[in-house]
Structure 1
Amino acid sequence: MDYRPQTLVLASSSRYRAELLGRLGLPFEIQRVAVDESPLPLEAPLTLAQRLSVTKAKAITHLSGDYLSIGSDQVATCDDRLLGKPGTEAKAQEQLRFISDKTVSFFTGVAIWRPARAMLDCRVVQTRVRMRNLSDCEITSYIAVDQPLDCAGSFKWEALGISLFRSTESTDPTALQGLPLIELAQMLRDQDYRIP
């Protein structure tokens, strides 16, 4: 009979992912990892999200024993342009103007790596967000309230950013925030974690 790993580790520095994983009610550790997130030449967004999720999960190498590492990454695109974290208000304004009245595709990968058994599982959830036609005034006001400078696409859907949408389409709404809990919960059940 399989038994669950002794330790569950989130390989991430994202407070959003930590908050989401906490919703499952399982004890876990957080290990910050540094990974080059640059896309490879001609790399598709889905492939990039998958590769970075696996790389992050496997970046935890200093632990011993039977542990399970979770890595996740999200790639946002619109009109074949990658949308990163803006970092500044000026870049957030430019990004929101660019995606106004368009559809943004988010590819959110999640990987679990169990080195004691050389077990790897990775899945990617796609979310499509159709944006409203945003005025410059709305964009400026929104950024001032939500400060979405650390969010791909320059909005926080779990906060006021939802007001910028016309609609969303996804099999897992938590994927948009950065960690697809429906997929992850099934992956953890496969490793003998009881949820709930």
Structure 2
Amino acid sequence: MSSLVLASTSSYRMALLEKLGIPFIAVAPNIDEQAKENETAEHLVVRLAIEKATTVAISHPDGLIIGSDQVCVLNNQITGKPHNKTNAMIQLSQASGQCITFYTGLCLYNGKSGQYEALCETFEVHFRQLTESEISAYLDKERPWNCAGSFKCEGLGIALFDRLAGSDPNTLVGLPLISLTKLLIKAGINPLTYQSGR
């Protein structure tokens, strides 16, 4: 069996992939993640997911490599990670009462064959009307500076929302496991029947 490689050192993606019970290694892809001029969110995340997987394949040529990338879009603007409280306050104030759409690109690259499959999953987050004091208190408690959209949905961030809409809640955290499972099964690895040492 090809070794499974996650082209990411994100603790969130690693924790998600661990749910499938298949041993893997995580490798930083080290690519330029800047969007190209007039590039749509969907095209951006799929392109970057492919680039991450193929870049890591250079050092792991026999691996089955998972690439993933995510951005969120509010009012037709791609929103990145806030990196600090000031930016996070702005992001969440703009999101208050609005819907943010998350675009998550996924690529499974087979190093042995040089073939890959790639797709984009979307997930909608509908925010409650939030007060400035609610936003500030949330940010002080959870400090989501490295999270697109300035929240952690797997934590207290859930209290910011009115409702969520999407086919796979894992997509929101950064790795669409339902789609990934389908791709892995097509590649000959079924998480339900996988046995270590085989």
2:163 counterpart residue number: 167
Structure 1: which 5+ residue stretches go unaligned? none
C-alpha RMSD of matched pairs (Å): 0.9
2:50 counterpart residue number: 54
1:148 counterpart residue number: 144
The one-letter code matched in structure 2 to 1:62 is S
Measure, in 1, the Cα distance between the counterparts of 2:45 and 2:80: 12
SS of structure 1 residue aligned to 2:120: strand
SS of structure 2 residue aligned to 1:116: coil
Matches within 5 A, 1:2-41: 4-5=1-2, 7-41=3-37
Over residues 170-194 of structure 1, what are the superposed CA-to-partner deviations in whole Å (9 max), with x where a residue is unaligned? 0111000000000001100111112
Measure, in 2, the Cα distance between the counterparts of 1:115 and 1:192: 14
2:74 counterpart residue number: 78
Structure 2: which 5+ residue stretches go unaligned? 193-198
SS of structure 1 residue aligned to 2:32: coil
Q: Is 1:130 paired with 2:116?
A: no
Measure, in 2, the Cα distance between the counterparts of 1:19 and 1:63: 21
Measure, in 2, the Cα distance between the counterparts of 1:194 and 1:188: 6
Which stretches of structure 1, 4 residues or more, deviate above 3 A after TM superposition?
none
1:108 counterpart residue number: 104
Over residues 68-111 of structure 1, what are the superposed CA-to-partner deviations in whole Å (9 max), with x where a residue is unaligned? 11110001000011110000011111110111110000001110
1:118 counterpart residue number: 114
The one-letter code matched in structure 2 to 1:49 is V
Aligned-pair identity (%): 36
Measure, in 2, the Cα distance between the counterparts of 1:179 and 1:49: 12
The one-letter code matched in structure 2 to 1:52 is L
Give the deviation of 1:63 after TM superposition. 2.2
Measure, in 2, the Cα distance between the counterparts of 1:94 and 1:9: 36
Give the deviation of 1:169 after TM superposition. 0.7
1:191 alignment partner, one of 149, 170, 187: 187
Q: Is 1:63 paired with 2:60?
A: yes
Over residues 106-151 of structure 1, what are the superposed CA-to-partner deviations in whole Å (9 max), with x where a residue is unaligned? 0011101112112101111100111111100000000011111000
The one-letter code matched in structure 2 to 1:15 is S
| TM-score, normalised with respect to structure 1 | 0.95
Matches within 5 A, 1:81-100: 81-100=77-96
